């Protein structure tokens, strides 16, 4: 039985005016990948530093999207999805700082990750937020970061895919994009000898069909046709529900962890200490602000120059003496994870010589975890803990007494009555 789709791909590859020869084999294409990736990094940097602004025009995002739109005809109009539409208030990443930071996290995550699973996780995370006007057009940026994992997405590509497979992919839906992605991967695998690991080749073929350059032959495989589409869409929706359930549990964990860090932060400042928040937590949102607001931006020079500086930066909360760089107290919040990494960081700090002579090392955790914490500290790896007098601060005691300690306390000794010894 003749494979008319294969014959059409062969014809398309040989057509000097089709996207295979005009764009996919274009000498400048890979150079544009590098410049677009650098531009995405600039967008992330500006968002993280609150320098991105509130408008598309003149922004670093406009620069890279313009570079994408210049990628021959296949990406013409790529900027339409990102143009600010004031009457509709979309896309809602210019006037909403929370959504803007979420967009920045998506780009940053996709810039740093390397696997398809990590990319899909980032996409599902942004989809959970339902940011108005921010849909699968973002895949055109992700494609330039991961061309073997994320196909481009625009009207003509969708039309071409629907014409070939008799699917019903809709614009604007991440679920539909992810289901279409699975179908594209299946098509690409079937015709790999004519296409490429780079999904841009197949996207270009779909674009030429969707824009009317070639008629779409019927696909002779049920696995890739309408029935397969319905199954893939159902799988995408099931994955979205599963991700939402997991994300909800994780948000509750993060909320509790962040909330406890904020309690310790505020208590330290009330007692007159300078406060350091873990470098990877400073940007977390809490009560309309960032967890690291009002805290040290950099470790003191003596700590930053220490051999264990990379470890110290990740301790959940540090209290430092107002008149010196010495650490008065170190806190690790152990909401649900194992205590191993937190204790190792505090050991690094204790053995560095940067602790004040009366400093305290504290594990802050739910009351229900005290038995688990005690059991883990009996491990031979933590034999030095007894010498360091690491103590346990239950959530309930901190919640009950923190206001009074902040009001009447003068230093770390105010915590003495609510601490539990572990060894």
What token pair was written down for 128? Answer: 């959970």
End-of-domain residue from the set 224, 239, 262: 224
Choice among 57-71, 170-184, 219-233, 311-325 with the minimum mean pLDDT: 219-233
Neighbours of 13 (CB within 10 A): 16
H or E element that contains 407: helix 395-408
Residue 391 lies in a domain: yes
**Contact of 179 with 236, CB cutoff 8 Å:** yes
Checking if the pLDDT of 401 tops 50, the result is: yes
Q: What percent of the chain has pLDDT over 90?
A: 42
Question: pLDDT for 337-380, tens place per residue?
Answer: 667 778 788 888 877 776 765 668 888 888 877 887 777 777 77
Question: pLDDT for 205-248, tens place per residue?
Answer: 999 999 999 888 766 666 566 567 778 878 878 887 776 776 65
What share of residues in the chain are helix, strand, coil (percent, to 5)? 55, 10, 35
Taking alpha carbons only, the member of 343, 136, 306 closest to residue 236 is 136
Cis peptide before 319 (omega within 30 of 0): no
Residue 333 lies in a domain: yes
Same domain, 14 and 138: yes
Question: pLDDT for 118-142, tens place per residue?
Answer: 999 999 989 989 999 999 999 999 9
Residue 357's pLDDT is what?
A: 59
Average pLDDT over residues 87-96: 92
Checking if the pLDDT of 204 tops 90, the result is: yes
End-of-domain residue from the set 224, 241, 273: 224
Checking if the pLDDT of 251 tops 90, the result is: no
Helices and strands: H and E segment counts in the chain: 17, 8
The DSSP bridge partners found for residue 420 are 392
Same domain, 124 and 203: yes
Same domain, 287 and 214: no
Question: pLDDT for 144-157, tens place per residue?
Answer: 999 999 999 999 99
The DSSP bridge partners found for residue 290 are 285
Residue 123's pLDDT is what?
A: 94
Same domain, 49 and 195: yes
Same domain, 357 and 396: yes
Same domain, 147 and 23: yes
Show the domain range for 382. Answer: 251-421
* CB-side neighbour CA atoms (13 Å) of 377: 23
Same domain, 260 and 384: yes
pTM of the model: 0.62
Residue 236 lies in a domain: no
DSSP string, 64-78: HHHHHHTSTGGGTTT
Residue 130's pLDDT is what?
A: 92
Residue 339 lies in a domain: yes
Same domain, 194 and 285: no
H or E element that contains 274: strand 274-277
Average pLDDT over residues 387-413: 87
Confidence of residue 115 (pLDDT cuts 50, 70, 90): very high
Residue 207 lies in a domain: yes
Beta-carbon contacts of residue 266 (< 8 Å; ≥ 6 apart): 402, 406
Same domain, 204 and 77: yes
Confidence of residue 304 (pLDDT cuts 50, 70, 90): confident
Checking if the pLDDT of 388 tops 80, the result is: no
Confidence of residue 1 (pLDDT cuts 50, 70, 90): very low
Residue 136's pLDDT is what?
A: 94
Residue 239 lies in a domain: no
Q: What percent of the chain has pLDDT over 70?
A: 90
**Contact of 420 with 374, CB cutoff 8 Å:** no
Give the count of domains, the chain: 2
Residue 234's pLDDT is what?
A: 84
How far is Cα 202 from Cα 97, in angstroms, rounded to an integer? 36
Mean pLDDT of the chain: 86
**In Å, how far are 232, 291, 388 from 50, measured between CA atoms?**
39, 15, 41
Largest distance between two CA atoms of the chain? 87
Checking if the pLDDT of 264 tops 60, the result is: yes
Same domain, 193 and 328: no
Same domain, 47 and 190: yes
Same domain, 316 and 383: yes
Q: Where are the alpha helices (DSSP H) in 1-59?
A: 4-14, 19, 29-48
Question: pLDDT for 33-60, tens place per residue?
Answer: 889 999 999 999 898 888 898 889 889 9
Residue 241 lies in a domain: no
End-of-domain residue from the set 205, 224, 243: 224
Confidence of residue 16 (pLDDT cuts 50, 70, 90): very high
Residue 270 lies in a domain: yes
């Amino acid at each position: 039985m003749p494979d008319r789709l294969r014959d059409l791909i062969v014809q398309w590859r040989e057509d000097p005016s089709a996207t295979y020869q005009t764009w996919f084999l274009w000498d400048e294409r890979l150079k544009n990948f590098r410049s677009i990736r650098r531009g995405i990094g600039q967008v992330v940097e500006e968002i993280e530093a609150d320098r991105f602004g509130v408008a598309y025009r003149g922004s670093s995002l406009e620069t890279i999207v313009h570079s994408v739109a210049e990628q021959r005809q296949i990406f013409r109009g790529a900027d339409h999805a990102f143009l600010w539409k004031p009457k509709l208030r979309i896309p809602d990443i210019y006037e909403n700082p929370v959504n803007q930071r979420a967009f920045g996290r998506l780009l940053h995550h996709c810039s740093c990750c390397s696997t398809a699973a990590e990319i899909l996780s980032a996409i599902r995370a942004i989809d959970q937020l339902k940011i108005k006007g921010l849909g699968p057009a973002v895949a055109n940026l992700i494609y330039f970061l991961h061309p073997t994992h994320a196909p481009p997405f625009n009207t003509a590509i969708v039309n071409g895919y629907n014409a070939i497979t008799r699917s019903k992919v809709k614009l604007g839906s991440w679920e539909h994009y992810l289901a279409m992605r699975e179908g594209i991967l299946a098509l690409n695998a079937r015709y790999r000898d004519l296409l490429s690991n780079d999904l841009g080749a197949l996207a270009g073929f779909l674009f030429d069909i969707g824009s009317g350059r070639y008629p779409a032959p019927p696909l002779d495989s049920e696995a890739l046709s309408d029935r397969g589409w319905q199954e893939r869409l159902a799988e995408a929706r099931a994955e979205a529900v599963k991700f939402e359930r997991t994300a909800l549990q994780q948000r509750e964990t993060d909320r509790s962890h962040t909330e406890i860090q904020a309690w310790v932060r505020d208590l330290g400042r009330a007692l007159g200490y300078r406060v350091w928040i873990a470098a990877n937590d400073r940007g977390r949102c809490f009560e309309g602000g960032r967890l690291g607001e009002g805290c040290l931006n950099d470790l003191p020079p003596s700590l930053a120059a220490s051999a264990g500086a990379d470890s110290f930066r990740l301790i959940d909360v540090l209290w430092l003496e107002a008149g010196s760089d010495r650490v008065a107290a170190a806190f690790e919040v152990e909401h649900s994870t194992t205590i191993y990494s937190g204790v190792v960081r505090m050991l690094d700090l204790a053995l560095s010589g940067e602790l004040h002579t009366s400093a305290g090392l504290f594990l802050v955790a739910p009351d229900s975890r005290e038995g688990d914490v005690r059991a883990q500290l009996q491990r031979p790896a933590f034999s030095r803990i007894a010498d360091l007098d690491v103590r346990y601060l239950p959530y309930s005691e901190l919640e009950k007494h923190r206001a009074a300690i902040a009001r009447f306390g003068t230093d770390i000794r105010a915590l003495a009555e609510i601490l539990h010894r572990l060894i």
